[in-house]
Structure 1
Amino acid sequence: MSELAELYAADLTGAGWLKSSYTSGDRACVEVADIPGLPAIAVRDSKNTDIPAARVSRTAWSAFLAAVADGALTPAAR
């Protein structure tokens, strides 16, 4: 089984979802959870929890968070 297939085969039923302390007043935010048994993270929309969560390796998640903290990601031009 490929790494990606393994990530999406994992059961998130008992995952401990965490919501950011920066959640807006309308509660629109993302939630993250460790994927049980894998070095990976699941990410979902807190207002649409029935939509399947995106899943990424811990390495990819750490790189994303570092890029955000460094200001390396900028909004796309509209």
Structure 2
Amino acid sequence: MKPYIKRASAAELEWVKSSYSGNNGNCVEVATLPGGGRALRDSKNLGGPALTMSPVGFDAFVRSVVDGDLSQP
């Protein structure tokens, strides 16, 4: 799997934004990839790149966010 998709809008994926997202434009959208992986993109840049992760990598990423491991010092 490539680590990114160069043009997310051309990938023909179904992108989902969290229902907890406000209207401030600072959102991340997620799409399920064939094989169960996930792609992440910035909702302000729909045609820009998207990061891709394996199912295991995405689970680890979400756990890190929930646990606060990715917060800035």
TM-score between the two structures when normalised by the length of structure 1: 0.71
Select the structure with the greater relative contact order (CA < 8 A; seq sep ≥ 6). Answer: 2
Work out the number of aligned pairs and report it. Answer: 70
Q: Distance in 2 between matches of 1:74 and 1:26?
A: 20
Q: Mind listing any 5+ residue stretches in structure 2 that lack a counterpart?
A: none
Misfit runs of 4+, over 4 Å = none
CA deviations on 1:38-63 (whole Å, 9 max, x unpaired) are 22101001011010211111111100
Q: Distance in 1 between matches of 2:25 and 2:42?
A: 10
Report percent identity of matched pairs: 36
Tell me the equivalent position of 1:22: 20
Tell me the equivalent position of 2:32: 34
Secondary structure class of the residue paired with 1:66: helix
TM-score between the two structures when normalised by the length of structure 2: 0.75
Structure with larger Rg: 1
Mapping of 1:1-78 within 5 angstroms?
Answer: 3-4=1-2, 8=5, 12-13=11-12, 15-35=13-33, 37-75=34-72, 77=73
Q: Mind listing any 5+ residue stretches in structure 1 that lack a counterpart?
A: none
